[in-house]
Structure 1
Amino acid sequence: MKRFVILFKVFAVSIIFFAVSCTSDEQKESSKKDTTKTEDDAELAENVSYQIPSPEELFIIIKQHKLPYKENLLNSTETSYTTTIAKEINLGIYVADLSYSSVFNMNQNTLKYFQAIYKLSENLGISSVVSGAFLDRLKNNLNNPDSMSFISNGSYYSIIQDLDNAGKGKTIAVVATGGWVEGLYILTNLVDKYSENNQTINKLASQKVIFNNLYSNLEKYSSDANVADVKKDMDEIKAIFDQLKAEKKDDGGSSKNKEGVIVLGNKEKFSFSEAQYNDLKLKIKEIRTKFIKQ
């Protein structure tokens, strides 16, 4: 059975936000309990060996660069999906929407998207992946944004870990693709105009490394006709990223540690031309529209 690892060290960043933002002893004690639980989930997820992206890192970039929260960019939770592939893709999309809401402490929306994730998981026959315990913890911590962030982050680790344990690598590949596409859709719609000095766009170019991992995983399961269709959509994105050439070495991006596990960072720096960025933005919008209307 193939083993998976969350590519981004989301919890390290989340813990920093948590330490800065706690304002009362009561909040600290409550959040400490949830932190312990979530760190345990993270440790489980990091003991595996195939790299997949988490949408959370993109949204931390959004917040760091002072981009806004726009609810109208989120996928509606009222849509009814009937096919398995549509449910898997939109499970990933809802995970991204949950992460975006969580990073901005939009707790009611965080709860709403977790409920949508729980419902889709039940429809897919994987409700044990997103346990009712997570949902109860979210409901009980609506007034504690720090705990909400930890719990919602933990749900993604739990989804990947449990799907992996169940041998559902194909589902992981599709869910991860849905989440990645939604993350880029939101990010590219928050940047109005291209500028070669725009830090958000420059960070986005580094997604080439992340995308290559995502695409390789889809290729492994492309004997399935539905996955092959998703991969075909991603072929257009690959064509854009393949145009990007490494410019120089720096300390950012992804690299392998001595155990051979990819960690945050890629020592190659990439950048978009205006035409490449606009092409990516257009293709992501087209693919995302197709995904949510399946």
Structure 2
Amino acid sequence: MKTPYLKIIVTSLTIGIMTSCGGDATEKKETPQVDPATLETEETEMWGFDSMGGNSYQVPSPNELFGIIKESKLPFKDDLISTNSYQYTSSKDQALNFGRITADIAYTASYEKFQESITNFDNLRKVGDDLGISYVFDEMMVDRVKSNMDNADSLEVISSSSYQRIIGLLEEAEKGSTLAIIATGGFVESIYILTHMAPDFNAESDMVQRIADQKLVMENVLDYLNIFREEDRVLEVLEELQGVSDVFLNLDEESISEQMSSEDGKTVLGGNRIIITEEEFNDLKAASAAYRNSFANPNQG
């Protein structure tokens, strides 16, 4: 079952803008800490983008992908991302980098690098203000996030509970195309981080397989972008994304008729498995880096 990638896009969006709009993230209030187990969350099965035709486009959260890294006990690489602040002049670059920064926050937060996360929260606020989407947050949510800044689990639960409301507001404000571009930026950044975190290529490793499985995510991202392809900026994104999408779309699939065990000891049931070769993996690694670098630093664009 696919889970919503934009859950973490909006989770980080919520945390980032609320933290920055609320003032100093280190300021302590008497608001009690939130126990994630006591919070109600919405059913996630149907979360995703809804087109005007009623189709839902669901893609997984970077938290799920970065969880693979943590399970593999790989160390944090601080040279993969930057906390530098840049001025992006076009709405396309603003949306792409909004997605990129949210993925970066998910990455640093998953390793409990809260100072880096807080710095990027401020960067996220600046880009969010330029995009005109900070209006979706209220003061109560700001207070809850600030009082749980050092509790990553609580932050995710608090933010995910407001996911559907935020998506609804943005779509109601006719920002569906902006959401699609945000998703693209976050997805590309996630693939960039994962491929550069992966150790030496091994076709049987769980991480490599999970990266290959993102072919399905790529298809969903493309489907959602294509809804808005009449917009010049979306058409540009589709063209710029081609280096990454071509690698994914050309990955072969094989049928698995019986149970088998992966290198990591996990059981794989029958069905279809997406195959990625070392050459394709390296192509994906290079393509994701080239594209994210082209929009992350305006001096290179």
> Under TM normalisation by the shorter chain, which class is it?
0.7 to 0.9
- Relative to structure 1, is the Cα distance of residues 157 and 78 closer, same or farther in structure 2, using a 3 angstrom cutoff? farther
Q: Is the counterpart of residue 78 in structure 1 residue 85 in structure 2?
A: yes
Bigger Cα displacement from structure 2, 241-250 vs 199-208 = 241-250
- Find the partner of 1:177 among 155, 165, 184: 184
TM-score, normalised relative to structure 1: 0.76
Asked whether the equivalents of residues 87 and 124 of structure 1 are also in contact (C-alpha less than 8 Å), the reply is yes
**Residue 51 (str. 1) matches residue 57 (str. 2):** yes
Shift of 1:103: 1.9
Q: 2:297 corresponds to which residue?
A: 293
After superposition, the CA RMSD in angstroms is 3.3
Q: Superposed, which structure 2 residues align to 1:73-112 within 5 Å? A: 73-112=80-119
Task: Report the Cα offset of residue 92 of structure 1.
Answer: 0.5
Question: How does the TM-score come out when normalised to structure 2?
Answer: 0.74
Aligned residues: 260
- What is the correspondence of 1:82-231 to structure 2 with a 5 Å cutoff? 82-131=89-138, 133-151=140-158, 159-231=166-238
Q: Which residues of structure 2 form unaligned runs of 5+? A: 9-31, 259-268
Q: Give the distance between the partners of 1:215 and 1:145, measured in 2 at CA.
A: 31
Structure 1 stretch displaced more, 212-221 or 162-171: 162-171
In 1, distance between residues paired with 2:79 and 2:159?
21
Letter in 2 for 1:282: A
Contact 1:194 1:274 in 2 (8 A): yes
1:73 deviates by 1.6
Which residue is equivalent to 1:238?
245
Number of the residue aligned with 2:35: 32
8 Å contact 2:6–2:183 — kept in the other structure?
Answer: no
| Contact residue 118 and residue 130 of structure 1 kept, 8 A | no
CA distance in 2, matches of 1:271, 1:239: 14
AA at the equivalent of 1:271: I
Compare 98-107 and 140-149 and name the one that shifted more: 140-149
Q: Distance in 2 between matches of 1:78 and 1:127?
A: 18
Q: Is the 8 A contact 1:249 1:268 kept in 2?
A: yes
Compared CA separation, residues 236 and 144, structure 1 to 2 (3 A): closer
More moved, 116-125 vs 149-158: 149-158
Q: Which residue of 2 aligns with 1:277?
A: 281
Distance (whole Å) between structure 2 residues aligned to residue 72 and residue 156 of structure 1: 31
Consecutive unaligned residues in structure 1, runs of 5 or more: 12-28, 252-264
Percent identical pairs in the alignment equals: 29
Q: Would the aligned equivalents of 1:107 and 1:148 in 2 still touch at CA under 8 Å?
A: no
Could you report, residue by residue, the CA deviation over 1:76-102 in whole angstroms, capped at 9, with x for unpaired residues? 341221211111111001111111122
CA distance in structure 1 between the aligned counterparts of 2:196 and 2:47, rounded to whole angstroms: 31
Q: Distance in 1 between matches of 2:147 and 2:68?
A: 28
Partner SS, residue 236 of structure 2: helix
Instruction: State yes or no: 1:64 paired with 2:71.
Output: yes
Does the aligned pair in 1 maintain the 2:48–2:58 contact within 8 Å? no
Letter in 1 for 2:4: L
